[in-house]
């Protein structure tokens, strides 16, 4: 796991340096999770710009340039407040069988679903396809127990105004910003279904559940919508007994945007220590925090009114990111963290999953 | 009809000057339609500020200060682009019976509906109450024929996040920005029902129609939502054979945001001339244009893609106002016009009603 | 000191309840510091709306209604993220001489400067007038030592586009958003001068210093600009040996937006405990945190790039508030805190003063 | 001259179709002027995304792929309101000498200046370099008389927060949004100098003039700033007696944002007719309008107050584009026009140059 700051959405210089130095073998890259500095909403093209810049850079570096599309790219827009733009690059290599891992450590599985039709986005169909994909990625990661899955990051599509047929009436039209919530919500429920956090029966045909019944949620799903893709790209992160990685992942669930305890617990679970930059006393080093944020749908936080849902100037997902990123960054004293906005069915209403990745001392 | 520029939302100095000079008798004021410089969306408090400033100023000017609440206040937020903040004050006085009008001229009727419950906003119930109110206001205005109604301006409520019960799930919750469209849409259909532009049957229970079937619309409704009221305040503007006003109103329907012909026709119908500031050759003087604007829900205008519906930084109602106000202002060479955003069921999709008020030479 | 949540900018119901119950004697009110939900920038009219609503409510409650203008009103716009809109009401009453205070406690002094001309805003003249006002307020508060001043809250004017003469050229014109920074900066340096944190010589004629040389700053100034006033309204908060108040104020200086240690120290200094809602083990209860926030002018925080200064969609003062409010709220587990944006010459670049007010067990 | 609508900033499909059909020879392309759907301000990466997408597409189409950098790319962000995203592609081919032109027609010259240092942006140095470039491009275009230059389009750099050295103080720091105005202003004065619209003496060392004295301006300059380049890219458009192009360009100067007469005159000068889509009676066809827009720096338009300069939610350049694009589009009944915001020293204060390109019947 490599964390690399970026100067612009199309900045690949940091990655290039690591590849030139031989630290990263480009052929070992399985996924890139990044924060880019667009608005993180419908008309955010920095995500697509970053992905196409990465692909244009990586393709010629690979043995087989066509393999550039096998990598999972999750660009989450929105670096509000202190949130610092960066990429987290995940690599995977086969090791000799006699390298027996002493304890479970980080393992990654990926999956690309098929493209979705416009009217499939945010529906039961999407839940199903994602659930299948999550299971496939778990298998690839060598994770058999749901309890060993600590974070499932998904990039999912949205529906733009122009994607929908111009018609004399407005029936069945979806607001494009709302389509992001529906897509994130269905994807998250797909994770919940795969991990048996919800049942088929609870979901019904999906219509009364998706972005409706927030009592149903996944404790590890993190989904992010964008116009730069039509399918879902899935990355399962967990600890596997078969992995000999130096990294360990832990997670917890924030009950609300100011739930500092959950963040602290996730860090500790991974072996890290809050407030410590660099190595802690155990020789472990926190690499990144991955988490979700949302403006509490009740309009309140800790019993006090917040104004995010009634703000017509700034989208509430932007403000949610600013808040949770500031809280997380203040705890780990590092603003280069991954916080994504819109936590529909990802943790309880107003809260969200939080994961910590730590490099353990060998 | 008096048009008065304002320096801030709470500026009543212009009105005060006219009252001090004796030009306006405060007891004759029946309605004030204004443009204030907030965002025109959910968290726009300039509308309420303007209304409370007007009321605080006017109450002590009236014979009976409690009558300050009988006046209809329609503050429409959003002075995007060249749109210049102002108030249009409408007065009404009884005249001697022997003042026989030579031709139909401007007449005004007003009505305040009851307050609506949160779950009545944007529903069939609202349509019904508004329709009753429009009929009542027509009667008050001495207008018996629907054809003589040229503009029906309504201020209607919206639903804030905090207005809705905090619940474990999200069911039946309405996005606050969306609630503005629903409220405007239902109010407009109320006008359409009163003026027999739509039938009870076409409306059904409202659910499949309101902000769904834009083939149903009124050609004279102009509705504007705000958090500063819970009821609907209605102002019917038409020409009545019983009125001896110096003013005449005309109207037309813009088919799209760039429909200059409709604007020109409305101006001409009122006796005015486009591009002429002050008196035209006939001695008539255009006072104000009142019209509605919206981003075409098809995502296209004149066959070209527009980006307003996918813009997560600027609400599409704001952009629609900027566009139509610029077009209208360029035609009449006056940026102090009334343009309100969000034309659901007000004119055809993407278009909207436009009215012109002209002071005729005596 | 009373903290009261508000439902809208013009909501005075909470204050009314306390006055009706007899908890607050309206004649004892010396100042109100509030957070209102506008954008906190140039076109924020929620501040003026709140002030006029408070004045309209309070005037008839006072023995002498004209005294309503003797109260200092500091409305700071911008409740980004979790920041919850509220008022903090400060009262002051004379006590019998034989009530001998056991330890220094909260004391308040206020001052209203003269109105400033447009071309005085943000200049050396403003520094001078503010410095005089601060000294006057200190005297009123019974605070003789600069070290006993823990927070100086100032509301200062801004310059709107329309305030400046239309001219053929642009010379000497100030951008209205920039005028806020200049006004805040000069006001803060006025505090610094009064408290001998800077010298007359260091300031020179002000031109090379104000919003230029951020090495000069006050450790207790908190200044907030708005269009709702033309003068500066000053509130000095400190601990005085002559005060027998139940409240104590402490303060510290945040070195950057994520400086959690400074916040913790300020809370502790006041007798409070972080993370404790209600009374702590000593019987003390934290009432409110007052602090300043800004996007680091270096473009970096903790060595990482932030994007706030290059964001043309959201003003950087808004984001700074969202960040620091989230950090403070997470530490005290209360989102109803006072955080104001734009900390020019208020604390070191990127940081800002933070004060805590605590009600001590008697 | 080819006008091509785009579906996203990276959409090259329309250009590809014309190249595949053989209508455009990629080797003949000298410049591309486009409107992309970012905010058109500092953090607009859609411009860079569009340029890199065009380059990635075009390079392999060219005989010599390295020639892809000889093309001038002017991407102007901001498609507010009805403004429809599109590209205008300019090609140039050598013709036989015996093709004697009957009347002057469109001719294009281009020039790339050297990269500018951060502290050169918006200064006298920039004016000088641009002036040299304009003269060079005129020569290339075969235009010897200044009167034959009808539009000079320039893309110029801006200064981001991160481009400037982090320092203990703020001296000599430029606000990044302001840097756009300075860069546009200096570039425009460079055009004015080259075309003898201003003298060396009038400019002095630039400091008291650039974005200060708006009495100095060019009647044909159109400059647009962006972070995607460090140099200025210049495109001179005029009519040359040596050109045998089917196209003709005309221009005029808008005195204010609602100056419809100037737009009409520019269209007529080019041989086109307003309000006519497709061929007019003369067989001529209007292709595109190129113009500049700005919020009048006086804060007034046609004697009425506008609020654009005090709007802290929406940058004034965005609103200016929305306004002028709506006016232009309403006149030519086509929303696919090029309108760029920020007209410092480009036309009189509040106004801007407007050019029309028309394909003449052979």
Where is average pLDDT lowest: B155-164, C161-170, D255-264, D300-309? C161-170
Where is average pLDDT lowest: A156-165, B291-300, C12-21? A156-165
Number of Cβ pairs closer than 8 Å across A and C? 120
Give the model's pLDDT for residue C168: 44
Helix (H, G, I), strand (E, B) or coil at C334: coil
**ipTM exceeding cut-off 0.85 for this assembly:** yes
In whole angstroms, what is the distance from residue D320 CA to residue D335 CA? Answer: 15
Question: How does the average pLDDT of chain C come out, rounded?
Answer: 95
What are C350's two structure tokens? 């990127």
D130 φ, ψ to 5°?
-65, -40
- Cβ atoms of residues D259 and D353 within 8 Å: no
What are D254's two structure tokens? 């808008």
In whole angstroms, what is the distance from residue A158 CA to residue A161 CA? Answer: 10
How confident is residue B167, by pLDDT bands cut at 50, 70 and 90?
A: very low
In whole angstroms, what is the distance from residue A87 CA to residue A16 CA? Answer: 12
Is the Cβ of A48 closer than 8 Å to some Cβ of chain D?
yes
Distance to chain B for C278, nearest Cα, Å? 24
Give the number of other Cβ atoms within 10 Å of residue A20's Cβ.
10
Give the model's pLDDT for residue A165: 65
Please report residues of A whose CB lies closer than 8 A to that of D38. 45
**Interchain contact, D335 vs B302, CB within 8 Å:** yes
Give the model's pLDDT for residue A167: 46
Tens digits of per-residue pLDDT, D97-133?
766 677 899 999 999 999 999 999 999 999 999 999 9
The active-site residue out of D35, D155, D219, D292 is D155
Give the residue from A174, A199, A192, A204 showing the smallest Cα distance to A130. A192
- Cβ atoms of residues A245 and A107 within 8 Å: yes
Give the model's pLDDT for residue C345: 98
Give the residue from C160, C153, C6, C142 showing the smallest Cα distance to C73. C153
- DSSP annotation string for D248-290: EEEEEEESSTT-HHHHHHHHHHTT--TT--SB-TTS-EEEEEE
**Is A296 noted as a catalytic residue in this protein?**
no
Classify each residue of C258-271 as buried b or exposed e, where b means 16 or more C-beta atoms within 10 Å of its C-beta: bbbebbbbbbebbb
Give the model's pLDDT for residue C170: 55
The number of C-alpha atoms within 13 Å of B172 and in the hemisphere containing its C-beta is 11
Q: Which among B260, B323, B330 is the nearest to D82, CB-wise?
A: B323
Give the model's pLDDT for residue B188: 98
- DSSP annotation string for D116-169: PPGGGTTSHHHHHHHHHHHHHHHHHHT---GGGEEEEEEEEE---GGGSPP-SS
Helix, strand, coil % in chain A, rounded to nearest 5: 30, 25, 45
DSSP-H helix ranges across A158-293: 176-194, 200-203, 260-269
Give the model's pLDDT for residue B168: 44
Distance to chain D for B192, nearest Cα, Å? 28
The answer, yes or no, to whether residue B212 has pLDDT greater than 50, is yes
Give the model's pLDDT for residue C97: 72
Is the Cβ of B91 closer than 8 Å to some Cβ of chain C?
no
Is the Cβ of C19 closer than 8 Å to some Cβ of chain A?
no
Tens digits of per-residue pLDDT, A251-286?
999 999 999 999 999 999 999 999 988 899 999 999
DSSP-H helix ranges across chain D: 13-20, 46-58, 124-141, 176-194, 200-203, 260-269, 316-332
Give the model's pLDDT for residue B171: 55
Is the Cβ of D114 closer than 8 Å to some Cβ of chain C?
no
Residue C231, H or E segment: none
Q: Which among B301, B322, B329 is the nearest to D335, CB-wise?
A: B301
**Interchain contact, A311 vs B166, CB within 8 Å:** no
Give the number of other Cβ atoms within 10 Å of residue B169's Cβ.
15
What are D236's two structure tokens? 């001179």
Report how far apart, in Å, the C-alpha atoms of B297 and of each of B156, B222, B341 are: 22, 18, 13
**Interchain contact, C48 vs B49, CB within 8 Å:** yes
Q: Residue D288 CA to chain centroid, in angstroms?
A: 12
In whole angstroms, what is the distance from residue A227 CA to residue D37 CA? Answer: 14
**Interchain contact, A8 vs D313, CB within 8 Å:** no
Give the model's pLDDT for residue D172: 57
**Interchain contact, A309 vs B176, CB within 8 Å:** yes
In whole angstroms, what is the distance from residue A185 CA to residue A195 CA? Answer: 15
How confident is residue D202, by pLDDT bands cut at 50, 70 and 90?
A: very high
Tens digits of per-residue pLDDT, C61-101?
999 999 999 999 999 999 999 999 999 999 999 887 766 67
Give the residue from B231, B236, B284, B251 showing the smallest Cα distance to B92. B236
Tens digits of per-residue pLDDT, A294-338?
999 999 999 999 999 999 999 999 999 999 999 999 999 999 999
Question: How does the average pLDDT of chain B come out, rounded?
Answer: 95
How confident is residue D167, by pLDDT bands cut at 50, 70 and 90?
A: very low
Is the Cβ of C84 closer than 8 Å to some Cβ of chain A?
yes
How confident is residue A168, by pLDDT bands cut at 50, 70 and 90?
A: very low
How confident is residue C156, by pLDDT bands cut at 50, 70 and 90?
A: very high
Where is average pLDDT lowest: A122-131, A227-236, B168-177, C64-73? B168-177
Residues 166-195 in B contacting D (C-alpha not used; CB under 8 Å): none
Helix (H, G, I), strand (E, B) or coil at D22: coil
Q: Which residue of A has its CA nearest to D162?
A: A7
Give the model's pLDDT for residue D178: 94
Work out the average pLDDT over A129-151: 97
In whole angstroms, what is the distance from residue C262 CA to residue A94 CA? Answer: 48
The answer, yes or no, to whether residue C167 has pLDDT greater than 70, is no
Is the Cβ of B28 closer than 8 Å to some Cβ of chain D?
no
Which residue shows structure tokens 């240690």?
Answer: C261
The active-site residue out of A224, A243, A315, A340 is A224
Where is average pLDDT lowest: A99-108, B105-114, B138-147, C43-52? A99-108
The answer, yes or no, to whether residue D168 has pLDDT greater than 50, is no
């Amino acid at each position: 796991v490599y964390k690399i700051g970026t100067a612009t959405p199309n900045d690949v210089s940091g990655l290039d340096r690591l590849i030139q130095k031989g630290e990263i073998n480009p052929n070992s890259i399985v996924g890139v999770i990044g924060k880019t500095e667009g608005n993180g909403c419908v008309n955010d093209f920095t995500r697509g710009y970053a992905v196409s810049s990465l692909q244009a850079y990586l393709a010629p570096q690979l043995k087989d340039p066509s393999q550039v599309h096998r990598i999972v790219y999750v660009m989450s827009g929105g670096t509000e407040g202190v949130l610092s733009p960066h990429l987290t690059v995940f690599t995977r290599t086969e090791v000799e069988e006699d390298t027996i891992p002493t304890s479970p450590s980080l393992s990654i599985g990926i999956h690309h679903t098929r493209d979705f039709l416009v009217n499939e986005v945010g529906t039961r169909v999407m839940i199903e396809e994602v659930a299948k994909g999550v299971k496939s990625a778990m298998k690839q990661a060598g994770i058999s127990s749901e309890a060993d899955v600590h974070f499932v990051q998904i990039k999912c599509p949205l529906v733009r105004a122009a994607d929908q047929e111009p018609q004399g009436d407005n029936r069945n039209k979806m607001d494009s910003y709302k389509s992001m919530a529906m897509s994130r919500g269905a994807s998250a429920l797909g994770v919940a279904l795969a991990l048996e956090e919800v049942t088929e029966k609870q979901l019904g045909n999906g219509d009364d559940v998706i972005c409706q019944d927030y009592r149903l949620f996944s404790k590890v799903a993190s989904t992010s919508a964008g116009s730069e893709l039509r399918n879902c790209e899935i990355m399962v992160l967990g600890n596997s007994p078969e992995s000999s990685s130096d990294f360990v992942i832990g997670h917890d669930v924030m009950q609300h945007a100011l739930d500092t305890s959950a963040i602290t617990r996730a860090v500790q679970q991974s072996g890290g220590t809050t407030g410590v930059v660099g190595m802690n006393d155990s020789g472990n080093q926190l690499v990144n925090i991955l988490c979700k944020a949302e403006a509490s749908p009740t309009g309140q936080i800790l019993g006090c009114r917040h104004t995010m849902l009634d703000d017509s100037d700034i989208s509430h997902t932007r403000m949610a990111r600013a808040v949770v990123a500031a809280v997380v960054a203040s705890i780990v004293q590092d603003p280069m963290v991954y916080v994504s906005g819109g936590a529909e069915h990802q943790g309880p209403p107003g809260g969200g999953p939080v994961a910590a990745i730590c490099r353990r001392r060998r």
